[in-house]
Amino acid sequence: MNALLSLSVPFILASQSPRRRALLDQLGLSFRVQASPADERIETPMAPEKTARTLANRKARPVSEAHPPALVLAADTIVAHQEAVLEKPETPQHAREMLRQLSNSTHTVYTGLALHHAETERTVVTGQATEVTFGPLDDAEIESYVETRSPMDKAGGYGIQDHTAPLFIDHLEGDYYNVVGLPLRRLYLTLRNEFSDLCST
């Protein structure tokens, strides 16, 4: 596959998310995966968008420090509904409750992106927001989806890329890939504009 851009330094994705790996593959960039050891707890409450950026930055930093020549990418995605952050459901019942909250309403998906290049002491932290509106869901639809176990490893209790969840969505405003977990255009523009010396097109 011919990539629209390539990097002259090693590229590391500081995430084990299979969805982010698959999306990064779409760009045609060569990369490797290195899980971040960062603590993802937030002690002081802050706005969801700021939380996503803060956590992305926190994830990228230790991996970048361990691999100075590499450009390191980390991301964090947060689902917010009526001021409340919806994390990954802890139980199937929790997933049902989340989906009932999202039913027939609009929520926001925020993804924070952090790019670190320790060798040149550069850090860029940015983000993307997408508004997602669900149609009304009945109990049978929710139960059928929860039984697939798919909601259990996803913020907000759903994955837009799943077979079933797209049937719940009435419309969205913004970047679809942001809802999956990695806003590809924002990433592409950030690489091209902020790290042009490390890129070739």
Can you name the residues that pair with 84 across neighbouring β-strands?
81
Half-sphere exposure of 33 (CA within 13 A, CB side): 12
76 catalytic residue (yes or no): yes
Query: Which of 39, 76, 138, 139 is the catalytic position?
Result: 76
Distance separating alpha carbons of residues 103 and 169, to the nearest angstrom: 9
Per the CB < 8 A criterion, the answer to whether 38 and 62 are in contact is: yes
Can you name the residues that pair with 86 across neighbouring β-strands?
79
Distance separating alpha carbons of residues 67 and 184, to the nearest angstrom: 24
CB atoms within 10 A of CB 69: 11
CB atoms within 10 A of CB 113: 24
Alpha carbon 49 to chain centroid distance?
12
CA distances from 87 to 13, 43, 158 (A): 22, 16, 10
Active site residues: 76
